[in-house]
Amino acid sequence: MIYGTFRLPNHATVRVNRIEKDRSSRTVAEIFLGETFINAEIVRTGHAWHYQRYSGNCPNRSAIAEAAEENQLTGTPPWEFRKGN
């Protein structure tokens, strides 16, 4: 389901595809800037972790998983950190 399409001042298009709500009622979505899949890019560049628990219904989850394998972030994933504290 497309949640919204927005045109930026530089004429680029941002598309938000709402997938579902998580247990805290936050929107789980896939974000595209033009043809670039932002979810995968932020994982690939180390700015986010792939949270597999909430990507199961994402049509492009394989791209996120591939980006996570390419990045190989080190450290404690946030969900593991929260369990311990």
Q: In this structure, are residues 16 and 31 in contact, taking their beta carbons and an 8 Å threshold? A: yes
Domain range spanning residue 15?
Answer: 2-84
| Residues whose CB falls within 8 Å of the CB of residue 11, separated by 6 or more in sequence, listed in order | none
Number of domains forming the structure of the chain: 1
Q: What residues pair up with 18 in beta bridges, in sequence order?
A: 29
* Confidence grade of residue 58 (pLDDT, cut at 50, 70, 90): very high
Average pLDDT for residues 70-76, to the nearest whole number?
Answer: 76
pLDDT digits (tens, 9 = 90+) for 10-49: 888 999 999 998 889 988 999 999 999 999 999 998 888 8
